[in-house]
Amino acid sequence: MRIPDSISPQINWLKINWQPVPRVQFIAWVIFYALLLIFLAFNFGQLTLLDNAHLVTHEAGHLLFGWFGATLGLWGGTLFQLLVPAMLCAAFIARKELPGTVFCAFAFFHSLTGVAAYMSDALRLELPLVTVGAIADESMHDWLRIFTQLGVLPHAIQIGNATRLIAWCGMIATVGWFGWRGLQKNEAEV
């Protein structure tokens, strides 16, 4: 598919000349993502090992953004949890490394599934809370406080479900895009 010249300057990032990915490595990555998506689907709603990495980043975000005030400190956990994989993804894009870009984009959307679960929990208050340097209680639930401040607490589950849908669509689209890029490369080689 050819992109019209009139809009191509605005979307030059689509024309990145990615570093080549050997066919065996590409197939291994596709299998990895397929198995990971299946695992996540069968363990839907449960915490996984990946969530532990996001948790550390989340808590670090509270500490880092806390330097800029209470509001940013409250939002900082989620912001940093999403910002880290997004920044790493941008770094891999700059290096034109497709597997790293896809991995970090996938990590971003997977992290968003954790955010969605935390959002939905604002009404249920069932998730175990973790905090740095204190004993966690209900009053420390980020999304309970955020949604209360925004006046949308009664809609927490709907917002969480919408966020989860976006996250799953993002993970599937990321893997689909990776597969499409691999097929594009293989067609160009023929």
Average pLDDT of the chain, as a whole number: 87
Is residue 190's pLDDT more than 50?
Answer: no
Please tell me which residue, 5 or 86, carries the higher pLDDT value: 86
- Residue 44, helix vs strand vs coil: coil
pLDDT in the model for residue 153: 95
* Residue scoring higher pLDDT (67 or 45): 67
Residue 186: predicted pLDDT? 57
CA-CA distances (angstroms) from residue 3 to 12, 148, 157, 163? Answer: 10, 46, 40, 31
Residue pair 45/117 in contact by the 8 Å Cβ criterion: yes
Rounded to whole angstroms, the Cα distance separating 146 from 148 reads 5
Three-state SS string across 141-186, please?
CHHHHHHHHHCCHHHHHHHHHHHHHHHHHHHHHHHHHHHHHHHHHH
Would you list the domain boundaries of the chain?
47-189
Amino acid type, 107: A
pLDDT for the residue numbered 126: 84
- The alpha carbon of residue 69 and the mean position of all alpha carbons in its chain are separated, in whole angstroms, by 25
Contact predicate 104/88, CB 8 Å: yes
| pLDDT, position 148 | 93
SS3 133: coil
Please check whether residue 15 is in contact with residue 96, taking contact to mean a CB–CB distance below 8 angstroms.
no
Q: How confident is the model at residue 100 (pLDDT cuts 50, 70, 90)?
A: very high
